[in-house]
Amino acid sequence: MLKCTQNITAGRAPHFGEVSSMHSNGIREKQASTKQQILRAARKLFAQHGYEATTTRMIAEKVGVSQSAISFHFETKENLCKAAVEYTARNIGAALQPAYDAVDAAFEKGPVSPERAMELIAELLLRQIRLVFDPRSKCAVSLALKDRALPKIAQGILPEVLFDRVESELARLILAYSASSNRVWAEVVSRAANGAIFSFFLNPSLPREARAPCGDSPSGMLEEYLLDYLLTAIQNCASPAERTPAE
């Protein structure tokens, strides 16, 4: 009798509480999915049309939801913009984090040799080049470049990830490579290197073959030539205090 009862219990249908829990989980998953869709649509439209020209109606229509769904998840357009920017920044940060981890690990072991510093500079620049040139990053880069046109609560988030953090780590490595203590000079050099990468995003008028994928490079010759140029420029650069006076 006990065995029979155990078999029935093992095969019983879920009781009301379990059904209610399963239903609630399904609702939460659907809500999470809707929220992600709204964030992606908002990011794309804000990047394409700008914050002011993009309406919540446009976003709702792109996702296929009512405007009340946007209000439910974000309350206001400003909050939605901030959430979309933060969502984008997390993805960008995740793409660059392996390079940052490698830099931190190198410095934790002690002084970084010029050779190792240059290897890390190359890795970080390559990740940044591939990130900026990746068509999937177009909205993120566009939003970062339009940062001042965003509401105040959303400003500074993407520039911190795409500009400030990258350039800070580059400056740190440039100082290690050059054995210089001139932080301002290193920051200027890192800004120039990062700016050169973004200049190709702003003015992409290059022959198609230069951007065609080649081997492991999704950006083809452009990636190779730009990285080589930046590394050569950094290697040949010296801080003002360390230059040999012109004869």
User: Using 50, 70 and 90 to split pLDDT, how confident is the model at 24?
Assistant: very low
Cβ density class 190-214: b for 16+ within 10 Å, e for less: bbebbeebbebeeeeeeeeebbeee
Determine what percent of the chain is predicted with pLDDT higher than 70: 77
The rounded distance, in Å, linking the Cα atoms of 169 and 208 is 32
Angle between helices 183-202 and 165-178 (to 10 degrees): 130
Residue 217 pLDDT exceeds 60: no
Domain enclosing residue 130, as ranges: 77-239
Residue 2 pLDDT exceeds 60: no
In this prediction, residues 235-241 reach a mean pLDDT of: 77
Structural domain includes residue 160: yes
Structural domain includes residue 234: yes
Structural domain includes residue 30: no
User: Using 50, 70 and 90 to split pLDDT, how confident is the model at 46?
Assistant: very high
Tell me the CA distances in angstroms from 66 to 43, 49, 58, one per residue in order.
Answer: 18, 21, 10
Structural domain includes residue 50: no
Q: Which of 16-30, 162-176, 228-242 has the highest mean pLDDT?
A: 162-176
> How confident is the model at residue 222, as a pLDDT?
82
Q: Which bin fits 179, alpha (ψ -120 to 50), beta or left (φ > 0)?
A: left
> How confident is the model at residue 243, as a pLDDT?
55
Residue 232 pLDDT exceeds 70: yes
In this prediction, residues 150-173 reach a mean pLDDT of: 96
Q: What are phi and psi of 217, to 5 degrees?
A: -95, 115
- pLDDT tens column, 78-100: 999 999 999 999 999 999 999 99
The rounded distance, in Å, linking the Cα atoms of 80 and 86 is 10
Q: Between residues 91 and 27, which one has the greater pLDDT?
A: 91
With beta carbons less than 8 A apart as the criterion, state whether 136 and 40 touch: no
What total of structural domains would you count in the chain? Answer: 1
Structural domain includes residue 34: no
The rounded distance, in Å, linking the Cα atoms of 133 and 125 is 12
In this prediction, residues 170-195 reach a mean pLDDT of: 95
- pLDDT tens column, 120-148: 999 999 999 999 988 889 999 999 999 99
**HSE value, Cβ hemisphere, 13 Å, CA-based, for 65:** 22
The CATH number given to whatever domain includes residue 151 is 1.10.357.10
User: Using 50, 70 and 90 to split pLDDT, how confident is the model at 51?
Assistant: very high
Structural domain includes residue 42: no
Structural domain includes residue 57: no
> How confident is the model at residue 204, as a pLDDT?
63
> How confident is the model at residue 20, as a pLDDT?
44
Structural domain includes residue 124: yes
Q: Between residues 1 and 159, which one has the greater pLDDT?
A: 159
Residue 26 pLDDT exceeds 80: no
